[in-house]
Amino acid sequence: MKKILLSTSMALALIGWSACSQQAQKTELKTTTEKVSYSLGLDVGGNLKALETEVDLDALIQGIRDTLSGKKPLLTRAQVNEVMREFSRTMSANKDAKSKAKGETNLSEGKKFLEENGKKEGVVTTASGLQYKVLTEGTGKTPKATDKVTVHYRGTLIDGTEFDSSYGRGEPTSFPLNRVISGWTEGLQLMNIGSKYEFYVPSDLGYGSRGAGAQIGPNATLIFQVELLEIN
């Protein structure tokens, strides 16, 4: 259904764009139809822009018009399928190349950051490469890898960009310690209940070359402030 709606939106918006291109562009939207059409145009324009590829709007609109009018297409269905397969391969290759380049940059910047950070007062580097700094030392028990823990935390990239925070959500989170990134599994076993540490997690102890979500890129070094509240 979503695909059908998107195709309909694209058709309406682009046909509207074609009509407007032959007359003065609007500077004010008065009717509901105009507002809906403009909104569809913004939506479709955003989708096209996100493709990061050259688009011939005239050819795009002609394809829509030929379909709606029943006119014989300029390409056969087999040709269309082959064109789109090649387009998909090209887009995939471009995405992989960008991801690889970003990963190499992140790896280099992370290595430099950790080298400099490891020289700072109070920062300890473990055998695995994990770095940590004690902000508050607790007096409670220390968890094992098989325990479930409850923590408050804040995660940032090395440039300070926050990507996650239980503080921001207003409630702590609980999880089995052996079900998270290895930097957390190792680091939290160093903590007592009531402690607050800052962890500097190399990419191989974090999300590696995959990254995670929109903000954690491939080979990203991460910083976490973690407060151990409970061992369940």
Residue 38 is among the residues annotated as catalytic for this protein: no
Looking at 38, 64, 147, 163, which residue is catalytic? 163
Q: What is the pLDDT of residue 1?
A: 38
Answer yes or no: 175 catalytic: no
199 is catalytic: no
> pLDDT of 171-203, one tens digit each?
999 999 999 999 999 999 999 999 999 999 999
- Portion of the chain with pLDDT greater than 70, in percent: 90
Answer yes or no: is pLDDT of 3 > 50. no
Catalytic annotation, pick one of 15, 64, 158, 181: 181
C-alpha–C-alpha distance, residues 146 and 1, integer Å: 44
Backbone angles phi, psi at 149, to 5 degrees: -125, 160
What are the Cα distances from residue 140, in Å, to 97, 118, 137?
48, 27, 9
Query: Among 125, 201, 117, which Cα is nearest to 157's?
Result: 201
Q: Are 140 and 194 in contact (CB under 8 A)?
A: yes
- Which pLDDT score, from 0 to 100, does residue 24 have? 57
Domains, the chain: 2-74 (no CATH), 108-231 (3.10.50.40)
224 is catalytic: yes
Best-predicted range by mean pLDDT among 1-10, 34-43, 62-71, 110-119? 110-119
